[in-house]
Amino acid sequence: LQFFTRLFQQRLQASEKSEMVDQRINIIINDFTKFIYVKICMGLFEDHKLLFSFLLTMRLRITQGKVSEADYRFLLTGGVSLEEPPQKPADWVPDRSWGELFRLNK
């Protein structure tokens, strides 16, 4: 915790300043997030960096309300469902696509 606190204090001092409180908070959040991302990536194998980037991005989007937990869960699982989709509206729609659209709509 001391290490984390020290890093946070360093970023507070190093980040861009602003008189507007809301703007300053956003600057601090963005600066610290980027700083932590870079530091963590330094300790990851190259193969793991893309996955970490995806997970961090999704968590940030969920926190910002830009992605719902349900959509995230669908993205990770492919929307597994025990329920059978209704009959396809047209024959040209592939079965797999129709099933995915049905689960996505849930």
Note the residue count of the chain.
106
Q: What pTM was estimated for this model as a whole?
A: 0.70
Domain assignments of the chain as residue spans, ordered by start = 2-67
Which long-range contacts (C-beta less than 8 Å, at least 24 apart) are formed by 54-57?
A: none
Are 53 and 33 contacting, i.e. CB atoms less than 8 angstroms apart? no
Residue 100 is predicted with a pLDDT of: 84
Q: pLDDT tens digit string along 35-80? A: 999 999 999 999 999 999 999 999 999 999 999 998 898 888 877 7
Question: How large is the average pLDDT for residues 83-90?
Answer: 89
The letter for the amino acid at 34 is K
Q: What is the pLDDT of residues 1-42, one digit of tens each?
A: 898 999 999 999 999 999 999 999 999 999 999 999 999 999
CA separation, residue 32 to residues 7, 12, 36, 50, 84 (Å): 9, 8, 6, 19, 46
